[in-house]
């Protein structure tokens, strides 16, 4: 007998950070599978642009919210009601990649707010809205395992997020809580990391990786979709990094 994952048809999914990159790729995939999707973010113009890019389907809604502000998170869930899955790909890393003497606390705090406190608040206010077979999926990253100079803040926050995921998987059971840890993925966020050297930097990494290329947003969307659909996976970090931990 063939075993099936959780049916995504007619489910309702919140994707925070769904206006670009990995979140947008996930929204496209979930819509194609028949799910209702809400993409949330801080910038209304970007959300509207994403809606246009996705073809303005009736199953797609947008919501402006800053997940670092608890009142906005609570109001978001009050508006959207019941859900099956919550995903956050949000990451505010602008100004965070600096050598230690140059790190500004304000930039570090933005990383913590978007990648740690944001998921914590999404779990706090979102878990009561989830069905028993629902899930929360967050995005950490390779920096937790292969830290580099200038990346101390991001490495620490990614590692902290994965610790939070394991604890929440126990506290919120049977709701499942997982993380995806991407490697280097060609998304707009690289403009903040490498600036004008983005293409050259990604090409150099592609030559090093056993997979022979850097990631695409669709690779991460596939991984998140697996975690949403597999009812026996919780408290887990799924590594999608082309073998980067090996080289």
Give the residue numbers marked as catalytic.
140
- Show the beta-strand stretches assigned E in 82-200: 83-88, 130-139, 176-182
* 41: Cβ contacts below 8 Å, ≥ 6 apart: 16, 17, 18, 19, 47, 64, 65, 90
For 148, the token pair is 């580099």
Among residues 135, 107, 96, 92, which one has the least CA distance to residue 229?
A: 135
Q: Please choose, from the candidates 14, 51, 56, 19, the residue with its C-alpha nearest in 3D space to the C-alpha of residue 36.
A: 14
User: Residue 114 corresponds to which tokens in the numbers above?
Assistant: 């978007």
User: Taking phi first (over 0 means left), then psi (-120 to 50 degrees means alpha), and beta for anything else, what does residue 233 get?
Assistant: beta
């Amino acid at each position: 007998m063939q075993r099936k994952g959780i049916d995504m048809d007619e489910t309702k999914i919140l994707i925070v950070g769904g206006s670009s990159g990995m979140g947008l790729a996930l929204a496209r995939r979930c819509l194609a599978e028949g799910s209702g999707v809400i993409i949330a973010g801080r910038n209304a113009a970007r959300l509207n642009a994403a809606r246009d890019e996705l073809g303005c389907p009736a199953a797609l809604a947008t919501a402006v919210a800053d997940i670092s502000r608890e009142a906005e998170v609570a109001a978001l869930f009050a508006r959207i009601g019941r859900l099956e899955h919550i995903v956050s790909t949000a990451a505010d890393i602008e100004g965070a990649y600096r050598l230690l003497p140059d790190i500004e606390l304000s930039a570090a705090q933005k990383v913590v707010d978007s990648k740690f406190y944001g998921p914590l608040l999404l779990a706090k206010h979102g878990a009561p809205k989830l069905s028993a077979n629902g899930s929360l999926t967050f995005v950490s990253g390779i920096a937790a395992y292969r830290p580099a100079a200038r990346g101390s803040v991001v490495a620490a926050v990614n590692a902290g997020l994965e610790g939070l995921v394991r604890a929440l998987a126990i506290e919120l059971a049977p709701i499942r809580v997982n993380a995806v840890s991407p490697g280097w993925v060609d998304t707009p966020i690289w403009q903040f990391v490498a600036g004008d050297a983005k293409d050259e930097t990604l090409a150099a990494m592609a030559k090093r990786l056993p997979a022979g290329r850097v990631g695409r947003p669709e690779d991460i969307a596939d991984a998140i979709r697996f975690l949403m659909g597999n009812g026996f996976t919780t408290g887990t970090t799924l590594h999608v990094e082309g073998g980067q931990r090996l080289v």
